[in-house]
């Protein structure tokens, strides 16, 4: 409408440029009048693992938890997984799923991914429960609301475009109707792109860089942390997901000085660097003391208590989505905390207990929802989700 192009309009140009760059830093002709190459922003729905897990946090995502209807048995759940697998392939490709009533809302090149999970109760039907996959015990600081907790199935859609997320979720929930009914829905957003267009870790609504401590994707540490390698056969190359809805008291947080905020986190707000370092990914020096002999990264700071070295080396791979929830004129803000690990009980629970006991951030955060899911491994073109469990 005006001369100002949108991000994805610019990105149309970039699609061509990126193809050239991928071919080895080539020279690319850009001409506003010439037809642009369509950008390649489709993510294959197939693979060893469900594809979103190791990918970047999407700009938009919606999570829906559903409960199985009483009449849904193992065979019916298998039918739903076949149906969803077909939907997932179509949606990833920007095609309408079968039976789509608004097929024009299926658009390609929005990096759409769908992730499916199975809650603990599903394994009463199927057996072969991944060890440690149980609802988390209620922590001392938790104020769990049924509206945001539990669920037999999870479907999570992420994309670059909010319309596409809403459309995909509607299709998936509609197809589940004979089998399962929605229990809760959570919608979140994240920005993992810096002002210069480079990838960044992203910030939560306290302004903190959030997610720095993760194992790097593709490293043995990552693989060991995330993918199941023992437990039931069907679950190899799968992972688990913990979803915690964490309300954040922005007004109370704002009343702190910046140094109080940084002491609670153990990191510098501006860069995300540990208080003992200068760059975001500097290793924490957990022994360093200041001139007064106090630990620089305080005993109860979030960075210390969540560091794998104080958790017997156990790690998690965590992501987050910011959320806002309006109740008329008032607004609640928070984080949809997402943690992947091979084993919830072995990796996540000890960390959670430690944070619940002492984390300085507990003064300004309250967990109001909690759920755990097993995420089956990925599927290939000749197969479907969780077929090894449900065939």
Whichever of 38 and 350 has its CB closer to a copy of itself, that residue is 38
Could you say whether residue 358 binds a copy of itself (CB under 8 A)?
A: no
* Contact between 183 and a copy of itself per CB under 8 A: yes
Is residue 363 a contact partner of residue 248, using CB atoms and an 8 Å limit? no
| Contact between 12 and a copy of itself per CB under 8 A | yes
Please tell me whether residue 184 binds a copy of itself under the rule CB under 8 A: yes
Rg (CA), the chain: 22
280 near a copy of itself (CB under 8 A): no
Q: Is 252 in the site for a copy of itself (CB under 8 A)?
A: no
Our finding on whether 32 is near a copy of itself (CB under 8 A) is yes
Is 189 among the residues that bind a copy of itself (CB under 8 A)?
Answer: yes
| DSSP structure class, residue 78 | H
Options 79-87, 274-282, 326-334, 365-373: segment touching a copy of itself (CB under 8 A): 326-334
Q: Are 68 and 152 in contact (CB under 8 A)?
A: yes
Q: Distance between CA atoms of 158 and 169, rounded to whole angstroms?
A: 10
Minimal distance, residue 234 CB to a copy of itself, in Å: 25
Measured distance CA(209)–CA(196) in Å, rounded = 17
Nearer CB in complex with a copy of itself: 130/211: 211
Among 71, 233, 292, 326, binds a copy of itself (CB under 8 A): 326
Output 148 or 348, the one with its CB closest to a copy of itself. 148
d(CA 266, CA 361): 10
Select 131 or 207, whichever has its Cβ closest to a copy of itself: 207
Q: Is 160 in the site for a copy of itself (CB under 8 A)?
A: yes
**Judged by CB under 8 A, does residue 170 bind a copy of itself?**
yes
Binding to a copy of itself (CB under 8 A) within 97-156 occurs at 101-105, 107-111, 147
Question: Which of 212, 249, 333, 383 lies at the binding interface for a copy of itself (CB under 8 A)?
Answer: 333
Using CB under 8 A, which of 84, 190, 337, 348 touches a copy of itself?
Answer: 190
Token representation of residue 207: 């302004």
* Shortest Å distance, C-beta 270 to a copy of itself: 6
279 binds a copy of itself (CB under 8 A): no
CB 185 within 8 A of CB 97: no
- The answer to whether 131 touches 345, Cβ cutoff 8 Å, is yes
User: φ, ψ for residue 67 (rounded to 5)?
Assistant: -105, 140
| 322 is a site residue for a copy of itself (CB under 8 A) | yes
188 or 232, CB closer to a copy of itself? 188
Residue 139 CB, shortest distance to a copy of itself, in Å, is 23
Looking up tokens 């009533």, which residue turns up?
101
Q: Supply 183's token pair.
A: 């229990």
Q: How far is the CB of 330 from a copy of itself (least distance, A)?
A: 7
Q: Is 318 helix (H, G, I), strand (E, B) or coil?
A: strand
* Nearer residue to a copy of itself within complex by CB, 28 or 353: 28
Count of residues near a copy of itself by CB under 8 A: 98
Checking 5-11 for CB contacts under 8 A at 24+ apart, the result is 8/160, 8/161, 11/39, 11/41
Handedness of CA 89, 48, 236, 52 (dihedral sign): negative
Nearer to a copy of itself by Cβ, of 8 and 237: the residue is 8
Binding of residue 162 to a copy of itself (CB under 8 A): yes
Question: Which string of DSSP letters, residue by residue, matches 343-366?
Answer: -IIIIIHHHHHHHHHH-GGGGTEE
E strands in 30-179? 60-68, 113-118, 153-159
**Which among 210, 290, 292, 312 is annotated as catalytic?**
210
- When asked if residue 43 is in the footprint of a copy of itself (CB under 8 A), the reply is yes
210: annotated active-site residue? yes
Phi, psi of 335 (to 5 degrees): -130, 130
Q: Please identify, using beta-carbon distances, which residue of 104 and 382 lies nearer to a copy of itself.
A: 104
Task: Give the residue among 320, 371, 315, 308 at the shortest CA–CA distance from 342.
Answer: 315
Q: For 220-231, what is the HEC assignment?
A: HHHHHHHCCCCC
| Residues 201-240 contacting a copy of itself, CB under 8 A | 202-203, 205-207, 209, 216-218
Instruction: Name the region of 51 (left: φ>0; alpha: ψ -120 to 50; beta: rest).
Output: alpha
Q: Which of 75, 138, 324, 357 binds a copy of itself (CB under 8 A)?
A: 324
Which positions are catalytic? 210
């Amino acid at each position: 409408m005006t001369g100002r192009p949108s991000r994805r309009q610019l990105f149309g140009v970039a699609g061509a440029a990126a193809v050239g760059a991928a071919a080895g830093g080539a020279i690319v002709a850009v001409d506003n009048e010439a037809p642009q190459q369509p950008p390649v922003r489709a993510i294959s729905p197939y693979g060893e693992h469900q594809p979103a897990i190791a990918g970047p946090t999407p700009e938009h995502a919606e999570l829906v938890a559903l409960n199985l209807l009483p009449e849904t048995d193992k065979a019916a759940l298998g039918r739903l997984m076949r149906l969803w697998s077909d939907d997932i392939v179509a949606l990833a490709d920007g095609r309408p799923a079968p039976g789509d009533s608004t097929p024009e809302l299926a658009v390609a090149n929005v990096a759409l991914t769908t992730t499916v999970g199975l809650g603990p109760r599903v394994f009463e039907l199927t057996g072969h429960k991944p060890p440690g996959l149980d609802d988390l015990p209620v922590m001392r600081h938790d104020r769990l609301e049924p509206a945001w907790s539990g669920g037999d199935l999870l479907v999570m859609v992420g994309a670059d475009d909010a319309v596409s997320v809403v459309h995909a979720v509607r299709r998936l929930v509609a197809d589940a109707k004979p089998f399962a009914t929605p229990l809760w829905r959570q919608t979140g957003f994240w920005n993992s792109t810096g002002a210069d267009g480079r990838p960044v870790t992203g910030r939560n609504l306290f302004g903190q860089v959030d997610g720095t401590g993760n194992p790097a994707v593709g490293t043995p540490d990552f693989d060991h942390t995330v993918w199941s390698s023992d437990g039931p056969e069907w679950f190899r190359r799968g992972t688990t997901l913990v979803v915690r809805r964490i309300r954040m008291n922005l007004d109370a947080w704002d009343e702190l000085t910046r140094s109080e905020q940084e002491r609670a986190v153990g990191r510098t707000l501006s860069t995300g660097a540990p208080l003992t370092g200068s760059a975001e990914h500097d290793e924490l020096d957990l022994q360093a003391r200041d001139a007064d002999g106090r630990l620089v990264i305080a005993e109860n700071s979030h960075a210390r208590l969540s560091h794998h070295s104080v958790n017997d080396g156990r790690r998690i791979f965590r992501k987050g989505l910011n959320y806002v929830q309006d109740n008329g004129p008032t607004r609640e803000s928070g984080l949809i905390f997402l943690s992947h690990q091979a084993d919830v009980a072995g990796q996540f629970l000890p960390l959670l207990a430690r944070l619940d006991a002492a984390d300085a951030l507990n003064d300004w955060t309250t967990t109001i929802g909690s759920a755990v899911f097993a995420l089956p491994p990925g599927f290939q073109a000749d197969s479907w989700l969780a077929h090894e469990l449900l065939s």
